[in-house]
Structure 1
Amino acid sequence: MDWDNIEPDRYRLMNKNFTPGRAGHQIRYIVIHHNAGCLSIDQIWQVWQTREASAHYQVDVEGTIGQLVNDTDTAWHAADLLRNQESIGIEHANSAGPDADWPISEATRESGAHLVAALCRYYGLGRPAWGVNVRPHSETGQTSCPYRLGPNGEYGNAYITRAQYWYDQMGSATPTPAPPKETPVTDDQTALLRQIRDNTADCRAMLMALSAQDMGDPGVTGPYGGWSQTGYRTRTDLLGAIGEAVGVPGARDTKKEK
């Protein structure tokens, strides 16, 4: 990886499921994801051939960085058009699956943090910081992604600390470029969406995460739905399990049946 010029280890550019250009928007921050899978650069390319999604970068389990969408184009990763247009998405491969609670290797975390630092330097975004120029995917929808890699996850604090370390190291040899000028907002609706997004992102992320855990998501396995301390059962699942255990007629532990 050429950190100064943002040249990845590999190019595996998408041929669909992204939008050319950014409709005049400047890059303002980076969105962090995890795969919820142990995917290589080629494998995630294949996934996005049949799924309407993409991100700019994939960091594999060995720390190799692949580029799938050019920085100048809009990847479909943040579940919101304006966020997609104003951000760069970085996916991180997991080193094991749901039985191990979706760990991420040290090599992946280190390369990902270094990439965050390099992007912040290159685009003049400032020193990496959660909630400022580095944001979790969970801000934008009903998802726990990036789970253990997010600001409240097991790896989150160390990840951003390493990104700050690399940002500072790069600063010793490379001056920080001037921040890009904001494109003047002429569309009242876009301005309103930006204001709502910036003022309510944290509250919405919290509420959506609680909703995802409490209601569950039958289409996704692992910690995405339900509560970890109940074996990823929702509160309704837990009442059914307790009812079956104490002999309440009709009560069933549906998680056990699966």
Structure 2
Amino acid sequence: MSTISPLATPYEFESFVNPGEERWDSREGAEITTVVVHHMAKTEFDEVPEVWREREASAHYGIGPSGEIRVYVGEEHRAWHARAANAYSIGIECCNVTEAPDWEVSEKTIDSLVLLIQDINARYDRKMRIVGHQCAEGNSAETTQCPGPSLIPRLAEIVRRVNEYDEKIIKG
């Protein structure tokens, strides 16, 4: 059974992977507790899966500059996006609207990221820990600059917005 957000459009990621290569595998019973936020280091939303042909990597979701959410790997699988955190996390890639050095993302991307994490929290009936890639287990600012200089300072705002929604739901 595939577990994906109803906010997301299925994307035929499998067609981008060479036969015999894997970019996801079993969670082996690990409970999902964390959302890892990434930036794509790309300004063309459609190019992201193509990168994964050359790199052994993947993510559960991608969000484009217009706010479109695509699912690449079902949540029931461990995507290859954050080293030691893969087993218990959901990876979300945010497309950039500018290139280096700023790697900015659009406000529509941020809004959709908040909505997607709110949906994940609701479906799993818990508040997920939200971290940037460099703060996920097995990573650091020395190993990756992801989620980039535009998203890193906004992570606290993203967490606050997600949690405000969750509080409204709890209080009714």
TM-score, length-normalised on structure 1?
0.56
Partner Cα distance (2:120, 2:170) in 1: 12
Which amino acid is 1:39 matched to? Answer: E
1:54 equivalent to 2:58? Answer yes
Note the C-alpha offset of 1:172: 6.2
1:64 equivalent to 2:68? Answer yes
> Among residues 17, 31, 34, which one is paired with 2:36 in the alignment?
31
1:64-107 deviations in Å (ceiling 9; x for gaps): 00000000011000022xx11111001111111115x1111100
- Which structure has the larger Rg? 1
CA contact (8 A) 2:24 2:73 kept: no
1:131-166 deviations in Å (ceiling 9; x for gaps): xx111110232112112322xx1x222222222233
Partner Cα distance (2:12, 2:109) in 1: 20
Aligned to 1:163: 162
Partner Cα distance (1:45, 1:114) in 2: 22
Which amino acid is 2:5 matched to? Answer: I
Which amino acid is 2:24 matched to? Answer: T
CA contact (8 A) 1:57 1:66 kept: yes
CA contact (8 A) 1:56 1:90 kept: yes
Q: Which runs of 5+ in 2 are unaligned?
A: none
Aligned to 2:86: 84
Which amino acid is 2:115 matched to? Answer: H
Note the C-alpha offset of 1:48: 1.2
Partner Cα distance (1:64, 1:75) in 2: 20
Partner Cα distance (1:59, 1:32) in 2: 11
1:32-88 deviations in Å (ceiling 9; x for gaps): 111122131x321222122211000001001100000000011000022xx111110
Higher strand content, 1 or 2: 2
Which amino acid is 1:112 matched to? Answer: L
Partner Cα distance (2:168, 2:26) in 1: 31
Q: Map residues 146-161 of structure 1 onto 2, 5 A cutoff.
A: 146-147=147-148, 148-150=150-152, 153=153, 155-161=154-160
TM-score, length-normalised on structure 2?
0.81
Q: Which has the higher contact order (CA 8 A, sep 6+)?
A: 2
Aligned length: 157
- Residue 164 to residue 68, structure 1, CA distance change in 2 (3 Å): same
- Residue 169 to residue 47, structure 1, CA distance change in 2 (3 Å): farther
CA contact (8 A) 1:18 1:76 kept: yes
Q: Which runs of 5+ in 1 are unaligned?
A: 174-258
**Aligned sequence identity (%):** 29
Query: After TM superposition, where is structure 1 displaced by more than 4 Å over at least 4 residues in a row?
Result: 169-173
> Among residues 53, 73, 77, which one is paired with 1:73 in the alignment?
77
SS where residue 83 of structure 2 aligns? coil
Aligned to 1:134: 130
Partner Cα distance (1:14, 1:95) in 2: 22
